[in-house]
Amino acid sequence: MLRMNQLSSSEAGSITRVAGIEVGHFTDPRRPTGCTVVLARGGAVGGVDVRGAAPGTRETDLLEPGNLVEQVHAVLLTGGSAWGLDAASGVMRWLEEQGIGYDVGVGRVPLVPAAVLFDLPVGDMRIRPDAAAGYAACAAACALDPPEGNVGAGAGATVGKLFGLARAMKGGVGTASITVDGVTVGALIACNALGDVLDPGSAQILAGARTPDGRHLQDTLRTLLQGALHQPPLGGSNTTIGVVATDAPLTKAQARRLALTAHDGLARCIYPVHTPFDGDTLFALGTGLAGKSLDMLTLCTLAAEATARATVRAVLAAQALTIADLHLPCARDLCA
């Protein structure tokens, strides 16, 4: 089985290899937080699936298959908890300036679904993404492979927090893509999970909760199965969010299915996942620019696999962070 931690960034690919998709990050230099925008300037059929019990989202209802609007123009992933949703206003302003949006006769309304993760304990919580941050992420967007790790929505991300933040490790942003018969499926994940992150090919824990001395990995799953007590997490204080995209044409129902099955990729490499304390949310986009399609079974298989690879990339690309008295090592520190 493929060991994802052995994939180079060029081998892993990225979501921007999907025709019609661009990515931009804004990382706040005042503290580790930020936002990431996935742009579809020409519009993309969208879907969403929320599995965590503590989500923070915007404009997800319009993605329901039975609702009117067919396409969206961007998806925002952001830190800052609920305050971070303000960054979507900046994304809308930038898109409006480009003449991009849903035609309502008197103008165009950009449609920007969004999801947040909780990074407030890392640094000064009064600093969080706002409309200017969302605008800056759009201005930085391009079709090149995007930076990974401590950037954008992953700047303040952490993983392995079941035993407290002091025993956690650094999370981040990761991306990957797979192309089959001229059709590409890619994913971009901001991993801020309560649980540990594993390589599903080898079952090796890459990053997660550490032992009390901080030098080794605790193995959250094994510890929970042994009935060990843990520190009760704060609801919504975690969350992995992301986007899976394809250049195959999709209906809204198919986009919803793609988002749903992409969560299988999270389940392969995050333990525990979709907890009462995570707001795990994945969006799906279909640009239709490949000019051809694959059957839905293959598309869903690629979506789950790309999501798993991107999640692994998120922790492998992360760098250690020390802020005040909090030290968050990265995967390379404990898995070397």
Residue by residue, what is the 3-state secondary structure of 239-287?
CCEEEEEECCCCCHHHHHHHHHHHHHHHHHHEECCCCCCCCCEEEEEEC
Pairing assessment for the beta strands 33-50 and 71-78 based on DSSP bridges? antiparallel
Least confidently predicted of 107-121, 132-146, 186-200, 216-230: 216-230
DSSP string, 5-58: GG--HHHH--GGGSTT-EEEEEEETTTTEEEEEEEEEEEEEEEEEE-SSS--EE
- CA-to-CA distance for 174 and 191, rounded, in angstroms? 8
Q: Which domains does the chain have, with CATH numbers?
A: 4-335 (3.60.70.12)
Output the six-digit token pair for 25: 């990050």
Query: What is the DSSP code (8-state) at residue 193?
Result: -
> Is residue 288 a contact partner of residue 215, using CB atoms and an 8 Å limit?
no
- CA-to-CA distance for 173 and 318, rounded, in angstroms? 8
- Strand (E) or helix (H) holding 89: helix 87-97
Q: Model pTM? A: 0.95
**Angle (nearest 5°) at CA 243 between 321 and 303:** 115
CA dihedral for 256, 156, 334, 278, sign (positive or negative)? negative
> Is residue 119 a contact partner of residue 150, using CB atoms and an 8 Å limit?
no
**Tell me, what's the pLDDT at 49?**
97
Mean of pLDDT values over 103-127: 95
- Strand (E) or helix (H) holding 169: strand 169-170
> Is residue 32 a contact partner of residue 158, using CB atoms and an 8 Å limit?
no
Best CA proximity match to 248, nearest among 295, 308, 201, 304 = 295
**Tell me, what's the pLDDT at 228?**
79
Q: What is the pLDDT of residues 127-147, one digit of tens each?
A: 999 999 999 999 999 999 999
**Tell me, what's the pLDDT at 2?**
46
More confident residue, 334 or 89: 89
Residue 248 has pLDDT above 90, yes or no: yes
- CA-to-CA distance for 244 and 92, rounded, in angstroms? 21
Across the strands, what pairs with 53?
Answer: none
Least confidently predicted of 113-117, 213-217, 254-258: 213-217
CA dihedral for 220, 304, 54, 127, sign (positive or negative)? positive
More confident residue, 35 or 231: 35
pLDDT band for position 169 (cuts 50, 70, 90): very high
> Is residue 135 a contact partner of residue 285, using CB atoms and an 8 Å limit?
no
**Tell me, what's the pLDDT at 281?**
97
> Is residue 175 a contact partner of residue 190, using CB atoms and an 8 Å limit?
no
**Angle (nearest 5°) at CA 17 between 99 and 117:** 75
